[in-house]
Structure 1
Amino acid sequence: MSIGEKLTQKYKSKLGKLFVGNSLELLTNDKKLSKLKGKVNLIVTSPPFPLNNKKQYGNEKGDEYKDWFIKLAPIFSDLLTDDGSLVIEIGNAWEPERPVQSLLHLECLLGMVKHPEANLRLIQEFICYNPSKLPSPAQWVTVNRLRTVDSYTHVWWIAKNDFPKADNSKVLRPYSDSMKQLLKRQSYNSGKRPSEHQISEKGFLKDNGGSISHNFFEMEALEEKREVRLPHSVLSFSNTNSNGYFLKTCRDKGITPHPARMSGGLVNFFIQFLTDEDDLVLDPFSGSNTTGYCAEKLNRKWISFEIKEDYIKQAIIRFSDPELKSPLK
């Protein structure tokens, strides 16, 4: 897309809009979008990963990727409200033709949070573990068998100040069976622990509706017989995803879904954790627009961008879900 090309709205729903085109050029140069500066409560996205091989969804490599990624910092910072958040999911990178993990993703993070024009900082890192990921890097895992499967991605929570809007009471995990029994029993062994922590007599007797979430997302059980205790918004999306309307419709139509879709469970979690209803959520690399879909269901306003028409068609399928009850216009 050339600078100055007309801003094109592909579709809109009750709460949001999807634009087609290069989001970075549009957000930097389009006068209409300049109104978004300082208005976005949450940017949540999974940008193209720094892979060694070019993928159909588009991705730079090596130093080109790092330069591209770091340029995002001031653009995103300008969009965010003072208490807004930026959430980025990114995979690991490997050195070309070597069984050596690259530092590229870490250099990208450092470049973003140290950008002199952005004033960003890393609030917390999350890990998203997915044992269903195909073995990668294939050359060093399945062919030469020198490395183990790379089965997780990083999720970085970044903000403009140390205290962005957040409320972990909105994303509680279900209590464990032992905690449920403790609450019913209303007693436990208090006192000093070997770790020198002092456990009070009544500190764990209040039922808060669930336990505080961890920064480790186990999208499938590590052990077959062990219950996965994820927040309801994460677990419910994960449990229905494979047989959900979107993937089922793609299969019926012979469509290959976007190969790097961000987990809807993750998106749900951060929308609920970091925003309130009617807040504005933005995804600059939306693919099949999981972010917009989740925001719509959670009653948040949203804006998404996608450069490839094929993925926009998939986004239209996603928003055709009868459960959404928000027809496109």
Structure 2
Amino acid sequence: MNKLKLAYETRKGKAYHGNSLELLDSLKDNSINLVMTSPPFDLLRQKSYGNLNGDAYIEWLSEFARKIKEKLTEDGSFVLDLGGAYQKGVPVRNLYNYKVLIKFVEELGFFLAEEFFWYNSSKLPSPIEWVNKRKIRAKDSVNTVWWFSKTEHPKSDVRNVLVPYSDRMQKLLKDGKKYYDPKARPSGHNISEGFNKDNGGAIPSNLLQIPNSESNSKYLKYCKTTGVKGHPARFPAKLPEFFIKFLTEPDDIVLDIFGGSNTTGEVAENLERQWIYCDLEKEFVGTSVFRFAQNEEQAKILHEKIINGEYVDLRDNTLV
């Protein structure tokens, strides 16, 4: 097994190559504000980036969660993105993501602050057998995203992730008297005269509608020009962006223990948060630096250095 190694640093972050369990052991207790990650899922078909199945998967993931709980600040959060899956050979769902949820809460002592659902409208129909061929199931387009916390009152501010008002609400803000009467509704809601106050946006729901349709990013461009394969399971930047804005403040520390292409680190850097990345695969670490390269030539040099085991210093965004 590869020994943990610092691969590169940027102005706000550090990227490590190696086992995340070793990285977690090296971190101070109560020091991480947010762990935002998407591990390999419990899938029947083996993926190039590795995955386990069944109870073995849940125990494997729990080993990381136990250490994460120690490293989180008292008001810190652990956000875990898990895709759905089917049982082998039958059109019946695998409950692994719900088993993870229950185990983390009932056995490991996390709180479920809130459950989120990421709807990826651009996801291809799957599984092929039940959806495309036999046509007996609908397309699976939603991931469960569990927001765990160390205490019942984690740091959070929904005002940082407000969404644009609907057309109807915008009309109401312009002329409230024309569109509603302040009074109690049959539902029990008391609609006051202040209902049409402009708060800068609407409170988001826990259904995050974010297409994962990246095609022309700098990351993919440099993968192509360098002649290397990008990470096959990247989540879109808007997913970590939502939780980083929602659950942290500038200079807080964000950790991704299954870093992959380092979308989390790039978003954190842009939002002035400190970040820590780790991945077991050297090639994924090598391509993740593309997110911080200034141009194609630099991207190739940085990738080669990391693949050769050299440390890269990008703290002043120049080559060393």
**TM-score, normalised relative to structure 2:** 0.88
Q: How many residues align?
A: 299
64, 83, 91: which is aligned to 2:75? 83
Deviations 1:73-95 (A, max 9, x none): 22110010000000010011211
190, 206, 215: which is aligned to 1:215? 206
Contact map agreement 1:41 1:281 (CA 8 A) in 2:
yes
Aligned partners of 1:77, 1:162: CA distance in 2, in Å? 13
Contact map agreement 1:72 1:112 (CA 8 A) in 2:
no
Equivalent in the alignment of 2:189:
197
Aligned partners of 1:121, 1:137: CA distance in 2, in Å? 32
Aligned partners of 1:66, 1:119: CA distance in 2, in Å? 15
AA paired with 1:45?
T
17, 22, 27: which is aligned to 2:19? 22
Aligned partners of 2:316, 2:175: CA distance in 1, in Å? 46
Asked if residue 312 in structure 1 is aligned to residue 285 in structure 2, the reply is yes
Contact map agreement 2:218 2:291 (CA 8 A) in 1:
yes
Counterparts in 2 of 1:244-263, with a 5 A limit? 244-263=217-236
Cα pair distance change 1:189/1:251, threshold 3 Å:
farther
Asked if residue 279 in structure 1 is aligned to residue 269 in structure 2, the reply is no
Asked if residue 142 in structure 1 is aligned to residue 132 in structure 2, the reply is yes
Q: Name the SS for the 2:147 alignment partner.
A: strand
283, 289, 314: which is aligned to 2:262? 289
Deviations 1:184-222 (A, max 9, x none): 11422221223122211x2222211101111111124xx
Aligned partners of 1:186, 1:325: CA distance in 2, in Å? 51
Asked if residue 242 in structure 1 is aligned to residue 215 in structure 2, the reply is yes
Deviation at 1:37, TM superposition (A): 1.5
Asked if residue 63 in structure 1 is aligned to residue 36 in structure 2, the reply is no
160, 170, 179: which is aligned to 2:150? 160
AA paired with 1:127?
F
Q: CA RMSD in A?
A: 2.0
Aligned partners of 1:122, 1:309: CA distance in 2, in Å? 33
Deviation at 1:325, TM superposition (A): 9.8
Counterparts in 2 of 1:167-182, with a 5 A limit? 167-182=157-172
Aligned partners of 2:315, 2:84: CA distance in 1, in Å? 37
Deviation at 1:68, TM superposition (A): 0.8
Deviations 1:261-292 (A, max 9, x none): 12210101100110000000001000011111
Aligned partners of 1:245, 1:325: CA distance in 2, in Å? 19
Deviation at 1:254, TM superposition (A): 4.2
Equivalent in the alignment of 1:92:
84
Q: Name the SS for the 2:235 alignment partner.
A: coil
AA paired with 2:124?
L
| Percentage identity across paired residues of the two chains | 43
**TM-score, normalised relative to structure 1:** 0.86
Aligned partners of 1:203, 1:50: CA distance in 2, in Å? 48
Deviation at 1:300, TM superposition (A): 0.5
Higher RCO, Cα 8 Å, sep 6+: 2
Deviation at 1:176, TM superposition (A): 1.3
Equivalent in the alignment of 1:228:
none
51, 54, 57: which is aligned to 2:46? 54
Q: Name the SS for the 1:204 alignment partner.
A: helix
AA paired with 1:39?
S
AA paired with 1:274?
L
Cα pair distance change 1:306/1:294, threshold 3 Å:
same
Equivalent in the alignment of 1:111:
103
AA paired with 1:94?
Y
Moved more, 151-160 or 254-263: 254-263
AA paired with 1:129?
Y
Contact map agreement 2:155 2:247 (CA 8 A) in 1:
yes
